[in-house]
């Protein structure tokens, strides 16, 4: 796990000073060492987090024997031992034990067919001096980032957006369409970024940059039509089907030359990962739980019970709300791009504390999208049933009569029910700021792309059932561009590598074969876990991993809210209507409505913008 950056120009090669500045922007991603390399047209910058083969032989940029290939690599290739055997049979000689060298020699022998052979999470670039081209790729589900900008005859890339600030002559401005999506959803769906001039390589894609220009190609994608399935397979049989691929997914992620542990919330997903991992390690697995002190939502007691049953070496990290409040602005500012998800904060803190003892942590991310775990999927299914029974005119009349007097929960339920079709309902359940609110909140210059990422993904999957269509759209947007981004940026801020067995490509493919995965409540995963953990330890309501933002923004963080939503600031930026935003702020502060999560996305953007552009900068 590392940080990578580079610069190819046919006219003016990057200087050592520019490459060093790009490298220094990524120190947190690779705290162990850094280096640069350049020739007359290409420059590469690298920061290393040592995971596999800690010796200097695995350092990067890495070259082949003849020196005509140079690699910088971020991520882990979990099937590198078997690929290495194949390459050795082809005559390749290895100087290190690293997975990075497998990628390098793999490209020598297999060329662009290499990408389909790789099992893991990765973003890398190879300078091919023979072909005078840069070849780059990103993993199937987009776990690792690869940003790039094309500016005339030069191609610039990096693991994080601050890299691009060090490129002379590259103008960076806010993308109106991306800002629109950010406000609505709390994240920017790829391939867009918050910057107009910078794009993100789509997940499951590779590309080349040469004198003919830029070329991008897909080597894998989430399915757009349902695979052939045996509809008779029940929950228990489905769980048995997934046993072998999941065990294999966990086993290959336990390979590490540095200390390794596992996040354990006590929920189904992390408990399942911990249970399989404990079966596979020789000693006691280190597990880590984070919770807020004196919080009714803390899952530390539940996690401790699971840990005792599994026999792990368990560690509880209890965070005082005062700690997060004191560090609030500093933590939010550590994100290299705006992230409106308030769970970035606890993810940042647990990553920091876990990194004190281990360098690699296994996580349960992906289970909710793969196995219908979110509450919103239940709400979506219920809304579909009720929409057939209750005419829309009745729903709209009830909504206008009740207004907000029934409270946010009642109002939200009625608004979801009032959505005219499945896509509108799914979008409403997935967004922070609703379309009716955006009409007056966003300035006219902040326009939406048509279709935007959510609609485009939804429209590509017409043959799925409505509920599974929603789930796959979430994997294609929310999982990739919110959850995985949040975890990568929060963990790599501390040089912690996070691995996700539930998102292993072979396991994902096996899961898609089961029709029962679209049954709300993660029934299949529950069956798998019940073989290892008593049901009484995990059959309980799901808790989120966010903050009590509604209370905090009325209490200890009120001054932060008021500072970053101040009318003068908002008018200067030119992206939001200051008067409309103030109405939402005052409604929240008065207690009439709970807008904490919505307003947090605005606050998070402003904190990021202060650091990236400056507090006084106009952005539209």
- The three-class DSSP label of residue 123 is strand
Tokens of 564: 């970053």
The string of pLDDT tens digits covering residues 59-112 is 999 999 999 999 999 999 999 999 999 999 999 999 999 999 999 999 999 999
Residues 253-266 have pLDDT tens digits of 999 999 999 999 88
- The pLDDT of residue 63 is 96
Q: Is the pLDDT of residue 400 over 80?
A: no
Burial of 423 by CB count in 10 Å (0-12 exposed, 13-18 middle, 19+ buried)?
middle
Token pair in block for residue 540: 């309980």
Q: 520-577, pLDDT tens digit by residue? A: 999 999 999 999 999 998 887 666 556 789 999 999 999 999 999 999 999 999 999 9
Give kind and range of the element (H or E) at residue 362: strand 360-362
The CA-atom distances, in angstroms, between 181 and each of 178, 184, 330, 351 are 5, 5, 25, 28
> Does pLDDT of 381 surpass 70?
yes
More confident residue, 287 or 324: 287
Percent of the chain predicted with pLDDT > 70: 94
* Neighbour count for residue 274 (Cβ, 10 Å): 31
Mean residue pLDDT across the chain: 92
pLDDT in tens, 296-328: 556 788 899 999 999 999 998 887 888 889 999
Task: Give the position of tokens 């996690």.
Answer: 303
What gap in Å lies between CA 474 and CA 482, rounded to an integer?
Answer: 10
Residue 505, classified by CB atoms within 10 Å of its CB into exposed (0-12), middle (13-18) or buried (19+), is buried
pLDDT band at 404 (very low <50, low <70, confident <90, very high): low
Distances (CA, A) of 354 to 286, 287, 288, 336: 10, 9, 7, 21
Reply yes or no on whether the pLDDT at 44 is more than 70: yes
CA nearest to 118, candidates 3, 219, 264: 219
Note the pLDDT of residue 78: 97
pLDDT of residue 320: 81
Query: Distance between CA 501 and CA 363 in Å, rounded?
Result: 7
Adjacency order of strands within the sheet including 313-319? 313-319, 286-292, 260-263, 360-362, 497-499
Contact 175, 196 (CB under 8 A): yes
Tell the burial category of 138 from Cβ atoms under 10 Å away from its Cβ (0-12, 13-18, 19+): buried
Residues 475 and 199 sit within 8 Å (Cβ to Cβ): no
What sign results for the dihedral spanned by CA atoms 108, 113, 118, 124?
Answer: positive
C-alpha triplet 576, 25, 128: angle, nearest 5°: 110
Structure tokens at 62: 């890495």
- The predicted structure's pLDDT at residue 450: 81
Residue 407, pLDDT above cutoff 70 = no
pLDDT digits (tens, 9 = 90+) for 156-195: 999 999 999 999 999 999 999 999 999 999 999 999 999 9
Model confidence at 411, pLDDT cuts 50, 70, 90, reads low
- Give the closest residue to 47 by CA, choosing from 70, 27, 61, 75: 27
d(CA 306, CA 293): 20
Predicted confidence band of residue 226 (pLDDT cuts 50, 70, 90): very high
pLDDT at 13: 81
What 3-state class would DSSP assign to 355?
A: coil
Q: Is 152 left (phi over 0), alpha (psi -120 to 50) or beta?
A: left
Kind and range of the H or E run holding 459:
helix 453-459
Q: Read off the pLDDT band of 471 (50, 70, 90).
A: very high
DSSP 3: E
Q: CA-to-CA distance for 347 and 515, rounded, in angstroms?
A: 32
Q: Which two tokens stand for residue 17?
A: 């000073």
Nearest to 370 by CA among 205, 529, 520: 520
Residues 6 or more apart whose Cβ sits within 8 Å of residue 243: 528
φ/ψ of 201, rounded to 5, equals -60, 125
pLDDT for the residue 604: 98
Closest CA to 340 of 328, 348, 332: 332
Residue bearing tokens 């590198």: 80
Radius of gyration over alpha carbons of the chain, in Å?
24
Give the whole-angstrom CA distance, residue 74 versus residue 142: 12
Q: Mean per-residue pLDDT for 272-288?
A: 96
* CA dist list (Å): 575 to 179, 413, 503: 8, 30, 36
What mean pLDDT comes out for the span 480-508?
Answer: 97
Residue range 374-385: mean pLDDT, rounded = 91
What 3 state SS string does 507-569 have?
Answer: HHHHHHCCHHHHCCCCHHHHHHHHCCCCHHHCCCCCCCCCCCHHHHHHCCCHHHHHHHCCHHH
Crossing angle, helix 235-252 and helix 523-530, to 10 degrees?
70
């Amino acid at each position: 796990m590392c940080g990578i950056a580079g610069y190819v120009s046919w006219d003016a090669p990057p200087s050592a000073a520019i490459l060093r500045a790009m490298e220094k922007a990524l120190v947190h991603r690779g705290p162990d060492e850094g280096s640069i390399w350049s020739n007359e047209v290409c420059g590469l910058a690298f920061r290393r987090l040592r995971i596999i083969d800690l010796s200097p032989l695995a350092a990067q940029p890495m070259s082949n024997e003849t020196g005509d290939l140079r690699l910088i690599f971020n991520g882990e290739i979990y099937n590198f031992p078997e690929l290495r055997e194949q390459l050795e049979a082809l005559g390749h000689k290895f100087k290190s034990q690293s997975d990075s060298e497998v990628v390098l020699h793999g490209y020598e022998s297999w060329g662009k067919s290499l990408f389909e052979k790789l099992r893991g999470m990765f973003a890398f670039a190879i300078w091919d001096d023979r072909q005078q081209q840069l070849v780059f790729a990103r993993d199937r589900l987009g776990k690792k980032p690869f940003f790039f900008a094309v500016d005339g005859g030069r191609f610039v890339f990096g693991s994080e957006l601050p890299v691009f600030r060090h490129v002379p002559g590259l103008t960076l401005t806010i993308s109106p369409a991306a800002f629109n999506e950010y406000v609505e959803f709390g994240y920017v769906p790829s391939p867009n970024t918050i910057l107009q001039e910078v794009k993100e390589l789509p997940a499951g894609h590779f590309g080349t940059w040469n004198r003919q220009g830029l070329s991008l190609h897909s080597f894998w994608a989430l399915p757009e039509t349902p695979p052939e399935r045996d509809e008779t397979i029940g929950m228990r049989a489905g769980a048995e089907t997934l046993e072998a691929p999941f065990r294999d997914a966990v086993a290959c992620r336990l390979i590490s030359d540095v200390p390794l542990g596992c996040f354990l919330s006590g929920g189904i997903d992390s408990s399942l990962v911990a249970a399989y991992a404990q079966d596979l390690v020789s000693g006691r697995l280190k597990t880590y739980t984070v919770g807020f002190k004196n919080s009714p939502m803390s899952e530390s007691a539940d996690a401790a019970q699971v840990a005792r049953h599994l026999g792990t070496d368990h560690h509880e990290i209890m965070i005082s709300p005062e700690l997060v409040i004191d560090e609030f602005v500093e933590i939010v500012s550590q994100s290299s791009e705006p992230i409106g998800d308030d769970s970035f904060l606890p993810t940042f803190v647990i990553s920091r504390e876990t990194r004190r003892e281990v360098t690699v942590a296994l996580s349960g991310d992906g289970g909710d999208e793969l196995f219908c775990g979110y509450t919103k999927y239940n709400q979506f299914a219920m809304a579909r049933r009720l929409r057939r029974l209750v005419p829309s005119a009745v729903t709209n009349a009830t909504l206008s009569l009740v207004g907000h007097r029934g409270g946010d929960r009642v109002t939200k339920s009625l608004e979801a029910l009032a959505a005219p079709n499945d896509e509108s309902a799914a979008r409403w359940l997935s967004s922070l700021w609703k379309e009716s609110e955006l009409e007056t909140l966003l300035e006219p210059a902040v326009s939406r792309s048509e279709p935007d990422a959510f609609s485009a993904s939804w429209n590509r999957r017409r043959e799925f059932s409505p509920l599974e269509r929603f789930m796959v759209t979430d994997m294609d947007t929310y999982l990739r561009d919110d959850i995985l981004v949040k975890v990568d940026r929060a963990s790599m801020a501390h040089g912690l590598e996070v691995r996700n067995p539930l998102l292993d490509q072979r396991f994902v493919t096996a899961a898609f074969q089961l029709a029962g995965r679209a049954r709300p409540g993660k029934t299949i995963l529950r069956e798998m876990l019940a073989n290892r953990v008593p049901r009484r330890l995990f059959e309980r309501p799901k808790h989120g991993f966010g903050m009590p933002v509604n209370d905090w923004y009325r209490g200890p963080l009120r001054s932060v809210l008021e500072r970053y939503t101040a009318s003068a600031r908002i008018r200067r930026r030119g992206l939001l209507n200051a008067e409309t935003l103030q109405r939402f702020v005052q409604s929240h502060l008065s207690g009439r409505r709970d807008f904490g999560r919505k307003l947090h996305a605005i606050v998070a953007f402003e904190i990021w913008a202060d650091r990236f552009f400056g507090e006084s900068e106009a952005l539209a």
